[in-house]
Amino acid sequence: MRPSYHFCSATQAFLEGRGPACATPKHPEGTEAAGDPGAEEDGSETGRGAGRRRTAARPGSGCVGPRAGSCSPARPGPSRPRGAARPHRQARPVPGTRAEDTRGQRTPGGGPPCGLRSRPERRARTGRLSGGCPTLRVMWNTVTLCSLGRLPPHTTPPLLPRLQTFNRVFERKYKDLCHGKQPAHILQNQGLKRTRNMLPCRLVSNKAKCRRYTKTYPVLDGRILSVYQHVFEENLRNSEAVIKRYSELLEMVSKGGGENAILRHTQRNKKLFVRERLKLLLDDESFLELSPLAGLNMPYGDVPAAGCLTGIGKICGVWCVFMANDATVKGGTIYPIGVKKQLRAQEIAMQNRLLSVYLVDSGGAFLPLQSELFPDKSHGGRIFYNEAIMSAMRIPQVAVVCGSCVAGGAYVPTMAEEAVIIDKIGTLFLAGPPLVKAATGEYVSPEDLGGAKLHSKVSGCSDHFASSEKEAYECIRNVISTINYDPLPEEVIEHDSPLYSSDELLGLAPRDYRCTLPVKLILSRLMDGSRFQEFKANYGTTLVTGFGHVEGHLVGIVANNGELSHDAALKGSHFVQLCSQRSIPILFLQNTAPHTAEPTSISQAEAHSNRLKAQASMMAAVACAAVPKITIVIGGCYGSESYVMCGRSFSPNFLFLWPNARVALVDSRHFSTVPHTGDNDCTGDESELKQLKEKLEEESSAFYSSARLWDDGVILPQNTRKVIAQCLEILEQQKYQVISPYQYPVLRM
Ligand code: COA
């Protein structure tokens, strides 16, 4: 396992117990150039150095934050020989000087006072975690999940000096908000807008830092030439039509099980609609909903949002995965597609190390489809299996019982690390009152059988009792703030907008593979400042590769620009390895060709085999690249080339489609419906062929794919930049986690 974090030499010395972390001098302009090995080496902020800026500067500098100047310099000199006289201790700092601790308690060595030292810091200082094991930082872990928790032999016990700073800030904030005269809940009751600063949320830096990267990459020419105009307009008309359909579907899904079901849920059952619950759970920021169209037009009917909303949103500043049953859809019962959706959300949580929140309100399995829900490996039971595995991987999970949790559904909160149950709303049992009545003839109320009081006082299946929904979400937010998960530093990354309007992406989204315009026109509308550092610009030009920034995040781009030729595949293979070597996430813009021409000569057949070999090598490079991957299907997702471009089976961290996308083995729109005489493969009359063509066409649409969870959702072309930036930020969060090698889940006692 390759450690991806680098510390400056003095911090390294501190980690090894040789002296305090250095006060890494700040860049005069306030940027954090110092402490970044990349910046030291090449003297610039581009390329490798820029890509590691957060990684290197924050953990390594140790003293970033409000009190950076108060740290002692590093002591790289030789250690005191045995028996030599102890040097004079540093004099106590004079009150008012920088070295003086604001709380008046300074340790003799100039470090922070022991009593105020955070637990992670104390642990790290002694080099121990529970069980005497050192802590371990995670790297991008798409292929390292199985090795998490194992320590490489050379691992040193890392101290995380930034935790020290964060915890000091937290202590100060917590004191002000909760121990002072205005605890957080009072502030909230005053009707003030809830922000992360108002909660006792840890690790909030009160100084937003500013980061800037060098703007030297060449600017792309994104002008749409007049020769492209007719294609542009054709694409635009198609985009408008598919986006209209997309909006209708979203509108339908947003109503859950329909108006009557919502009324029954909110008025008769006195519960909040699932989207209202999310408003109380998440910070007041936009969140990324995953696969909202899942479950539409299934063989067993429409199941809006698969009966369960999933997505990624911030809670107390930390990106979390949420899974929330929608009880207006058949009592929140789990359909096969609902299982698939929850499993995908858990996979995202595992792959990206995101803590997870379950809002459980479910009647358990949708019984008419029980054979598709039980007992296979990827059926319902896998959700509970994953909960244990995630807990063992140190991915915390918490749950709110905000409705019925019957049968299998009862395991979700019971296997979570901490659970809140809501009085008179939440119930939890393996068999409900009707089954008890049928089995024993005795009537027992849901409350007595498995209500909030019973599980909080008697069974211990829940850990917190909430008297209302609002209280429950406040409680779960507080629970999350105790999880010791770090939010991303509050850093403002200065970035430029693209030079061309993102609305023009609608005319660049290909209606058909044959309507594809040069992909650099799309890149010029996605990259910061339309700047792109192209790699091998004149070689294998049917694949465009290079580096750029999206809202300040450095990313490697691999974009189809025609058929994936032999040279293009070799270039792709080389570039993907570069990204992996440099720990740079890769963004695939996929628009693969529906079919390739049949060879008509020996030399063409040879060329085909060579291309096959090159594509196989690129597939291997993509599969094994140990960096996060995001795939956006901007046009065609056809056949085997889609694997090379990191299709679903190649486990990208996120995969989204544009609404114009086509997903199929071949493009059925070009099929002839006229039967060929003597064609054995194509039997049937014209009407049968027409039906087949229609079926294949329908099955190739982006909405068909999204309904079946072959992707993480359809996104609008004009929102693509925002979504990519959000994903890159989510991916980055795992760099800030500290995990221990502890390999057991939390067992409920
Ligand atoms: N399988 C299939 N359908 C179910 C179901 C299940 N397990 N549980 C509920 N439904 C259906 C109901 O038939 C009803 O359908 P309808 O709208 O077409 O009439 C719909 O879900 C809503 O149920 P309803 O009971 O009216 O709603 P509610 O909000 O008052 O209660 C439950 C919801 C889940 C608490 C209640 O339906 C219940 O207890 N269901 C049985 C749960 C169970 O025993 N599950 C065992 C799974 S192994």
Please state at what angle helix 602-624 crosses helix 566-581, rounded to 10 degrees. Answer: 10
Average pLDDT over residues 505-520: 96
213-270 pLDDT, tens digit per residue, is 667 899 999 999 999 999 999 999 999 999 999 999 999 999 999 999 999 999 999 9
Ligand 1 closest atom vs CA 332? 34
**pTM for the whole thing?**
0.76
Rounded (10°) angle between helices 336-352 and 381-392: 10
Structure-block tokens of residue 687: 């009407």
Q: To the nearest whole number, what is the mean pLDDT of the chain? A: 78
- Alpha helix (H) residue ranges in 590-746: 602-624, 641-644, 686-699, 702-707, 720-733
pLDDT in tens, 349-377: 999 999 999 999 999 999 999 999 999 99
What does the alpha-carbon distance between residue 467 and residue 541 come to, in Å, rounded to a whole number? 63
> What is the sign of the dihedral through the CA atoms of 577, 582, 585 and 588?
negative
Q: Is 364 in the pocket of ligand 1 (CB under 6 A)?
A: yes
Indicate whether residue 367 lines ligand 1 (CB < 6 A). yes
Report the distance separating Cα 431 and Cα 66, nearest Å. Answer: 55
Please report the atom of ligand 1 found closest to the CA of residue 261: 17
Q: Does a cis peptide bond (omega within 30 degrees of 0) precede residue 375?
A: yes
Region 66-84: what's the mean pLDDT?
36
* In the predicted structure, residue 210 carries a pLDDT above the cut 70: no
Q: Is the CB of 269 under 6 A from ligand 1?
A: yes
> Is the C-beta atom of 333 inside 6 A of ligand 1?
yes
Burial (CB < 10 A; 0-12, 13-18, 19+), residue 375, is: exposed
Position in ligand 1 atom list of the atom nearest CA 265: 29
Q: What is the per-residue pLDDT for 655?
A: 98
Q: Which atom of ligand 1 is nearest to the CA of 433?
A: 39
pLDDT value for 21: 36
432 close to ligand 1 (CB < 6 Angstrom): yes
Q: What does the pLDDT look like over 190-200, one tens digit per residue? A: 333 333 333 32
Q: Tell me, what's the pLDDT at 709? A: 98
**pLDDT for 468 beyond 50:** yes
Q: What percentage of the chain reaches a pLDDT higher than 90? A: 60
**8 A C-beta contact, residue 555 and residue 245:** no
Among 367, 374, 429, say which to mutate for ligand 1: greatest number of ligand atoms within 8 Å of CB: 367
Query: Which of 323, 329, 384, 397 minimizes the C-alpha distance to 359?
Result: 323
CA–CA separation, 43 vs 39, rounded Å? 5
Give dist(CA 412, CA 380) in Å, integer.
Answer: 11
pLDDT of residue 746: 85
Which has the higher per-residue pLDDT, 49 or 348?
Answer: 348
Phi, psi angle pair for 711, to nearest 5°: -150, 180
Q: Is pLDDT at 689 greater than 90 in this prediction?
A: no
> What DSSP letter does each residue of 353-410 carry, written as one string?
T-EEEEEEEE-SB-GGGGGGTSSSTTSTHHHHHHHHHHHHTT--EEEEEEEEEEGGGG
Looking from the CA of residue 435, the nearest atom of ligand 1 is 44
Cβ of residue 271 lying under 6 Å from some atom of ligand 1: no
Backbone phi, psi, residue 17, to 5°: 80, 20
Alpha helix (H) ranges present in 90-141?
Answer: 119-125
| CA angle, residues 370, 375, 378, in degrees to nearest 5 | 100
pLDDT tens-digit map of 26-70:
333 333 333 333 333 333 333 333 333 333 333 333 332 333 333
pLDDT at 677: 63
Region for 146 from its dihedrals, namely left if φ exceeds 0, alpha if ψ lies in -120 to 50, beta otherwise? alpha
pLDDT per residue as tens digits for the range 610-640: 999 999 999 999 999 999 999 999 999 999 8
Site of tokens 């995670």: 138
What confidence tens digit (pLDDT) does each residue in 487-502 have?
Answer: 777 777 789 999 999 9
What's the confidence (pLDDT) of residue 171?
Answer: 42
- Closest atom, ligand 1, to C-alpha of 257: 17
328 lines ligand 1 (CB under 6 A): no
To test the pocket of ligand 1, the residue of 404, 405, 428, 436 to mutate (highest count of ligand atoms within 8 Å of its CB) is: 404
Instruction: Identify the weakest region by mean pLDDT among 110-124, 388-402, 513-527.
Output: 110-124
pLDDT band at residue 678 under the 50/70/90 scheme: low
pLDDT for 214: 60
For ligand 1, say whether the CB of 407 is within 6 Å of any of its atoms: yes
Closest ligand 1 atom to 409 CA: 47
CA–centroid distance, 267 to ligand 1, in Å, is: 17
pLDDT of residue 701: 97
How many other C-beta atoms are found inside a 10 Å radius of the C-beta of residue 149?
Answer: 17
**Contact of 308 with 289, CB cutoff 8 Å:** no
CB of 330 sitting under 6 A from ligand 1: yes
H/E stretch holding 470 reads helix 469-481
Rounded to whole angstroms, the Cα distance separating 704 from 659 reads 11
| H/E stretch holding 319 | strand 318-325
75 C-alpha to ligand 1 centroid (Å): 68
> What is the rounded CA–CA span in Å between residue 625 and residue 628?
8
pLDDT tens profile 425-458: 999 999 899 889 999 999 999 999 999 999 999 9
Position 666 pLDDT exceeds 80: yes
Tell me the three state secondary structure of residue 185. helix
Residue 151 exposed, middle or buried by CB count within 10 Å (0-12, 13-18, 19+): middle
Q: Are 524 and 249 in contact, with CB atoms under 8 Å apart?
A: no
- Tell me the pLDDT tens digit for each residue of 698-708: 999 999 999 99
Name the more confident of 131 and 510.
Answer: 510
In the reported structure, the alpha carbon of residue 181 is separated from the centroid of ligand 1 by a whole-number distance in angstroms of 47
Whole-number pLDDT of residue 738: 65
- Please determine, for residue 608, whether its predicted confidence score (pLDDT) is greater than 50: yes
Q: For 568-598, how does the pLDDT look when each residue is reduced to its tens digit (9 = 90+)?
A: 999 999 999 999 999 999 999 999 998 777 8
| DSSP line for 205-252 | -SS-EEE-----SPBP-----GGGHHHHHHHHHHHHHHHHHHHHHHHH
pLDDT above 70 covers a percentage of the chain that reads 70
Task: For residue 363, report the distance from its CA to the centre of ligand 1, in Å.
Answer: 6
Q: pLDDT (tens digit, 9 = 90+) per residue, 311-345?
A: 999 999 999 999 999 999 999 999 999 999 999 99
Collapsing DSSP to helix, strand or coil, 491 comes out as strand
Between the alpha carbon of residue 44 and those of residues 38, 64, 212, 219, 666, the distances in Å are 8, 20, 11, 19, 47
For the segment 661-666, the average pLDDT, to the nearest whole number, is 94
Are 420 and 463 in contact by the 8 Å Cβ rule? The answer is yes
pLDDT at 142: 30
52 with 140: CB under 8 angstroms? Answer: no
Cα–Cα dist 534/552, whole Å: 17
- Output the pLDDT for position 90: 38
**Does the pLDDT value for residue 522 go beyond 50?**
yes
Confidence of residue 670 (pLDDT cuts 50, 70, 90): confident
Residue 701 is classified by DSSP as: B
Q: Give residue 660's pLDDT.
A: 98
Choosing from 360, 406, 411, 425 the residue with most ligand 1 atoms within 8 A of its CB, the one to mutate for a pocket test is 406
pLDDT at 741: 66
Q: Tell me the two tokens of residue 15.
A: 């980690």
How far apart are the CA of 282 and the centre of ligand 1, in A? 28
What DSSP line would sit under 531-562, residue for residue? B-EEESTTSSTTEEEEEEEETTEEEEEEEE-S
Q: What is the pLDDT of residue 492?
A: 73
pLDDT band at 160 (very low <50, low <70, confident <90, very high): very low
- How many Cβ atoms from other residues are within 10 Å of residue 414's Cβ? 21
**CB neighbours (10 Å) of residue 503?**
11
pLDDT at 598: 80
For ligand 1, whether the C-beta of 331 sits within 6 Å is: yes
**pLDDT for 685:** 81
Nearest CA to ligand 1 atom 1: 366
More confident residue, 142 or 564: 564
Q: Where does the pLDDT of residue 712 fall: very low under 50, low under 70, confident under 90, or very high at 90 and above?
A: very high
Per-residue burial over 464-502, b = 16 or more CB atoms within 10 Å of its CB, e = otherwise:
bbbeebebbbbbbbbbbbebebbbbbebebebeebbbeb
DSSP three-state, residue 629? strand
* Residues whose CB falls within 8 Å of the CB of residue 728, separated by 6 or more in sequence, listed in order: 550, 551, 553, 555, 585, 628, 630
pLDDT grade for 186, boundaries at 50, 70 and 90: very low
